[in-house]
Structure 1
Amino acid sequence: MIVIIRNAAWVDAWDADLGQHFYRQDVDVVFDGNRLVHIDPDYTGKADQIIDGSALCVMPGMVNVHTHLQSESLGRGLIEELGNPALYMTGILDEKSVFVTSGLTEQAGGATAQLAANAASTQNAIAELLKSGATTVVDLAVAYDGWLDLLAGTGIRAVAAPMYRDARWHVPTGHRLDYLWDIEKGRRDFATALEAVDAATNHPSGRLSAMIAPMQIDTCGIELLRDSLAAARQRRLKMTVHCSQHIPEFQEMVRRHGVTPVQWMHENGLLGPDTLLGHALFLDHHSLVQWWTRRDLDLLADTGTSVAHCPVVFSRYGQMMEDVGTYIRKGVNVAIGTDTEPQNMAEELRMASTLGRAAARSVRGVWLSELFHAATIGGANALGRDDLGRLAVGAKADLVMLDLDAPGMRPVRDPLRSFVFSAADRAVRHVFVDGRQVVKDGAVLTIDHKALSFSLQTSQDAFVRNAPYVDFRGRSADEISPPSFRIEGRN
């Protein structure tokens, strides 16, 4: 099927020679099947579908390299203000984990309810991502029945990243982080993850691929990490792992090895172009860790290691990268992820811009052009894909059409700025992935988003009931995350 976006008012095209996006005006964008074949004025070939582009800005679909689709939507209204001051403000180790990573016990519905929650959260998150201009997502999840078919059914381009680890976090006192090691379980889960990786790579949809994903640098032994990287290279895939994501992790790695997490990875040959680090926030130069070296950023740049930058979730802990503009100008391949709810790539870019300037204490700390590059080309580079994140002949037909008449888009002088700083997802009119339309007139075609909201509510209710059974200290949901105001009339 040949589709023409006729006379597009603005096109965010790709200049391969200069390695940067640039604007074109009043051109035809044409794709045949799942590949772009023409980005120039006056296309004269045949067409099966013609879209009037006179009030549209066409941009490449964004590449989200780090999120957890099966869990984060379940935390809406629960996790936004969580964080443990006794653990340097992070909430992932104990408080937030109750609602987004702990499994449902039999008292809250057990495995059946868990699978329903996985499906509701995943579909809701993907609907939000598609409506905010993302066409590719890396889903870091614990493999579950039906996962790959669920991803494929949404129409997004998905990278399955099944997670596993050797140890679990344990916070029995509320202020001390312990580790419960089970190396044999780590090996079994690694084998299960590899089965899921191979199944994703061979999935008949043609839109699924995979990454090797040991969970966290502090919960995986060196043998598991080395074998993970070897498995990635054997399959010509990439490895991703959470690294330098919170201060207790930084301190634990220093306690074990005497060096920072990044330096330990380098000493053990784990950095390089095959590795994507989740967050890499607390490096040796960060003001909150007060470490004495200044090597980490240079190691990432020199080795070609990629970083998944997810500013929104850390802003809720009162934390930020110091600073994203410096990472980029040092030569680190920065990519963007969401990692929390809402799953909104436009809002993630806005927060990256705001915090990037605040951290640098300069209006020129980072430019939107650099961040959009990260959200498109940076993500494609992290995945080893030269056919994503760009509008160029031969690239995949993954593209987004912004409505220039939408509130927040006009006056139009620089449509990308209007999109990120004002209109956000409200401006997304149409989205195509692999040449197939998945969003039309702002509505997702592959997911019944409205009906899904009721399933999501049921699933969150189960996690609320589940809280005292999985919290390290047996607290209820209201004790962990009190509502903003008292509620009268609750049964």
Structure 2
Amino acid sequence: MTPHSKTTVIRNADVVVAWDASAQQHVYMTDADVAFDGGTITHVGRAYPGSAEETIDGKGLLVMPGLVNIHSHPSSEPMNKGLLDEIGSPGLYNSSLYEYMPIFRADAEAVPHCVRVALSELLLSGVTTVADLSMAHPGWLDLLAESGLRVCIAPMFKSARWFTKNGHVVEYEWDEPAGEKAMDEALRLIDRAEQHESGRLFGMVVPAQIDTCAVGLLKESSQEAAARGLSWQIHAAQSVVEFHEITRRHGMTPIGWLDSMGLLNDRAIVGHGIFLDDHPTTPWHTRSDLDRLAETGTTVAHCPTVFARRGITMKNFGRYKRRGVNMGLGTDTYPHNMLDEIRLAAYLARTQATDPRAVTTTELFDAATIGGAKALGRDDIGRLATGCRADFVLVDAEHPMMRPGRDPVRSLIYAAGDRALRDVYVDGQQVVRDGEVITMDYRQAAAHLHEAQKRILDNAPRQDWAHRPVEKISPPTFRWS
């Protein structure tokens, strides 16, 4: 559905993060106008000459492109708030994937509340496009459309499930026909998404994890993605357990094995990509993983928060960029705050490299905009330029935490964060007004999620291999009395 045609102009914005096509980079432009008609940007520059049905006073505003999040799990992660903040399996290299996450999985009744909470948080942190990596659930497409976001729907499928019976060994239960069936269903769902009346849904092919997908499923899914002109994403190099499992099975690292099958290319995305052959935790006899990622044009979706909670981090964002790897960013976990992820990515990279020059704000902002757009095969989002989609964010440049305002994007990322975000537009339609989501009831969804978590916690000991009470799995910060 094409947005109603109406020319709107933001006049005399203090600063616009505009796209310089000749230099292929974002630039600061002062006292500038941004005009859009329907869902398309028609002017970025000074002194817009045309007429407009609506004018927005840009005084005191920073106008920037909407952020592009290429890795998120809205249907599950909000349920884990207050539970997985500081636990990881000591017998599984501190990952929480295998032992703890399945215990607190949202049930069908809770999923819509999870989604509304996550998408609201994304909007409030300036995200206008998100890749939703979820298992298919009822009403998914309409729920995504309700948010007003531009969404890359990424239904996951797999050939096996993982589990642990003792907290230190991961086992796999295989059902390859079920994986093939799930892929077919995912592709049909993608077809439906791309025909959705909202006009803001598109698809991605996602075999869930490198260690839960059969060889045939990996190759077939990659072929389907190529035939349909879609991106292809997989969780890989995301845990020490997985690294050792793949080297045990195939005698190659996860990245090396994907490359050996021809699965790495410029439309492939590796979710996380932390444990390479030269990571200190997973040293291997090769030193080629980073070069493989760069040479094939593969994107790495970096999501620092979820790993930092377990004392785990990439070594390091800047090193990947210097080698030529296309980098994108995602939230993966709660809170779904993209600005928080950008800031943490900066600090972790510099800490790991013991060098403040390890990564620049320019590189991080690029990853959150044009890097993510490139991974999704789009050149019409993540930048403010004529002909691009009208996906943008208005920031209160006069907010006290944005002052001094010498470098407004740095002030936003390192100081103000989402507190300074005022309005968000997607496809020319306003979805956040004065810091409030106007497409969904965020507060109501959060209240419902609070009640749903109580139900999930009552059932958690029955989902745990050791039947432990929740208070033992995830002790509260203070004793309740």
Separation in 1 of the partners of 2:173 and 2:468? 21
The one of 134, 137, 141 aligned to 1:144: 137
The alpha-carbon deviation at position 448 of structure 1 amounts to 1.1
Indicate whether 1:180 and 2:173 are aligned. yes
Name the residue aligned to 2:3.
none
Q: For the Cα contact (< 8 Å) 1:91–1:97, is it kept in 2?
A: no
2:65–2:393 CA contact under 8 A, matched in 1: yes
Corresponding residue number in structure 1 for 2:437: 444
Greater alpha carbon shift after TM alignment, 148-157 vs 471-480: 471-480
CA RMSD of aligned residues (A): 1.0
Are 1:75 and 2:80 an aligned pair?
yes
Indicate if the aligned counterparts of 1:83 and 1:96 stay in contact, CA closer than 8 A. Answer: no
In structure 1, C-alpha distance between the alignment counterparts of 2:102 and 2:187, rounded to whole Å? 25
1:84 and 2:77 equivalent?
A: no
Matching residue of 1:53: 58
- 2:102 touches 2:463 (CA, 8 Å); kept in 1? no
Distance 2:463 2:110 in 1: 16
Contact 1:133 1:428 in 2 (8 A): yes
Could you list the structure 1 runs, at least 4 aligned residues long, displaced by more than 3 angstroms after superposition. Answer: none
Matched, 1:194 2:187: yes
- C-alpha separation between the residues in 2 aligned to 1:130 and 1:372? 17
Per-residue CA shift, 1:160-217, capped at 9, x if unaligned? 1001111111110111111111112112211221121111111111000010111000
Whole-Å Cα distance in 2 between the matches of residues 19 and 332 of structure 1? 17
Aligned counterpart for 2:32 among listed residues 3, 27, 35: 27
SS at match of 1:173: coil
Letter in 2 for 1:49: E
Instruction: Say which SS state the counterpart of residue 222 (structure 2) adopts.
Output: helix
SS in 2 for 1:51: strand
The answer (yes or no) to whether the contact 1:56–1:404 under 8 Å persists in 2 is: yes
Structure 1 match to 2:9: 4
2:366 aligned with 1:373, yes or no? yes
Q: TM-score, normalised by structure 1?
A: 0.96
Task: Give the residue type in structure 2 aligned to 1:447.
Answer: M
Aligned 8 A contact 1:407 1:426 in 2: no
1:63 aligned residue: 68
2:200 pairs, out of 202, 207, 227, with: 207
Aligned residue pairs total 476
Distance 2:198 2:261 in 1: 37
1:219 aligns with 2:212: yes
- Paired with 2:243 and 2:206, the residues of 1 have a C-alpha distance of 20
CA offset at residue 117 of structure 1?
Answer: 1.0
- What amino acid sits opposite 1:316 in the alignment? R
SS class of match (2:211): coil
Give the equivalent residue in structure 2 for 1:351. 344
**Alignment check: 8 A CA contact 2:35 2:43 kept:** yes
CA positional deviation for 1:6: 0.7
Aligned to 2:42: 37
Would you say 1:285 and 2:278 are equivalent positions? yes
**Alignment partner of 2:323 out of 330, 336, 344:** 330
Once the two structures are overlaid, the 10-residue window that deviates more, 181-190 or 205-214, is 181-190
Stretch of structure 1 that moved more, 469-478 or 4-13 = 469-478
Post-superposition offset of 1:116: 2.7
Aligned residue number for residue 120 of structure 1 = 113
Say whether the 8 Å CA contact 1:139–1:158 is kept in structure 2: yes
Question: Which residue does the alignment assign to 2:146?
Answer: 153
Contact map agreement 1:137 1:156 (CA 8 A) in 2: yes
Contact in 2 for aligned 1:60/1:399 (Cα 8 Å): yes
Structure 2 residue ranges without an equivalent (≥5): 1-5
Residues in 1 aligned to 2:400 and 2:139: alpha-carbon distance in whole angstroms: 39
SS at structure 2 position matched to 1:356:
helix
Asked if the contact 2:38–2:428 (Cα under 8 Å) also holds between the matched residues in 1, the reply is: yes
Question: Structure 1: which 5+ runs fail to align?
Answer: 104-113
Q: Is the 8 A contact 2:194 2:203 kept in 1?
A: yes
The structure 1 residue matched to 2:102, chosen from 79, 97, 103, is 97
C-alpha displacement of 1:120: 0.5
TM-score (norm 2): 0.98
**Structure 1 residue 330: deviation in Å?**
0.9
CA distance in 2, matches of 1:466, 1:160: 30
Kindly, what percent of the aligned residue pairs are identical? 48
CA distance in 2, matches of 1:14, 1:115: 43
* Counterpart selection for 2:247 from 254, 271, 275: 254
